[in-house]
Amino acid sequence: MEYFFYVFARVVSIGLSALSLAMVLRVILQFFASEDNKFVIFCYAVTEPFIIPIRVIMEKLNIGQSSPIDIPFFIAYIIIMLLQMLLPIV
């Protein structure tokens, strides 16, 4: 049973690492690549499901509507980093 938890924790950790990398690439590629690039579309498709719930909550609370910075993106990134740090690796 302990082996199962170890494998599960490693898979989740690798998934969170890949997601955080996709989020960083999404930010960097905004400046260099066009929105029609398939890799940019892939980064958006992977990361957007994690950002949308935070964006909806912030719109309902009317927070950050006039900000030029994408605050929900940063909150989602922080949550992913916190989950990755709090994930117990045996």
- Domain positions in the chain are 20-86
pLDDT given at position 89: 61
pLDDT given at position 25: 93
CA torsion 55-59-65-68 (nearest 10°) is 0
Cα–Cα distance between 2 and 23 in angstroms, integer? 32
- pLDDT tens per residue across all 90 residues of the chain: 888 888 888 899 999 999 999 999 999 998 888 888 899 999 999 999 999 999 999 999 988 878 888 899 999 999 999 999 888 764
pLDDT given at position 90: 47
Query: Measuring CA to CA, which residue among 89, 66, 84 is closest to residue 16?
Result: 84
